[in-house]
Amino acid sequence: MSVLGRRIAEDAVGDSPLLVVAVLTGAVFFCVDLMRAMAGTDVELEFVRASSYGSKRESSGEIELSALLPRSLAGRRVLVVEDILDTGHTLARVHEELKLKGAEWVKTAVLLAKPTRVMQPDYVGFDIDNRFVVGYGLDDAGRWRNLPYVGLMENEI
């Protein structure tokens, strides 16, 4: 985590604070640890809720966004933090919305990235196989987020 945080901090040098946008709910755990690893970097924190899973283990393909930043992002540098990049459709939609709000640049950091993704994030903690995982913010219909590790579901699809 510290290596990833330092790399982001080096890339994010600028005159204004870096705006970190955590995608709720799963990215909160990763985002907090990542921001701690960026100690010494001037950052601000906001949240967006994005979902395409509902209570299922597969993305519906329909992305619901709520609580997206209401203010202008003109000239801002934004880092979007997501727990897992599965298909990439949700992250691509959040990225697009932030650019439409005027962000100067938008970078993406994900804890886990699957090979099925349609986009390449700027920062990846770990690449994983196309398996269903829970813990450290990742859930199965709202459960198991609080596990202090990432684990495979025993009865995965």
Three-state SS for 108? Answer: strand
Query: Which residues are known to be catalytic?
Result: 86
Per-residue pLDDT tens for 137-150?
Answer: 999 988 999 999 99
Rounded CA gap, 27 and 21, in Å? 10
HEC-encoded secondary structure of 46-98: EEEEEECCCCCCCCCCCCEEECCCCCCCCCCEEEEEEEEECCCHHHHHHHHHH
Rounded CA gap, 128 and 111, in Å? 10
CATH topology for the 2-152 domain: Rossmann fold (3.40.50)
Average pLDDT, the chain: 87
Residues 153, 66 contacting (CB under 8 angstroms): no
Amino acid at 64: E
Where in the chain are the domains? 2-152
Distances (CA, A) of 136 to 14, 30, 33, 45: 31, 7, 11, 19
Per-residue pLDDT tens for 9-52?
Answer: 999 888 889 999 999 989 999 999 999 999 989 999 999 988 76
* Per-residue confidence (pLDDT) for residue 152, from 0 to 100: 92
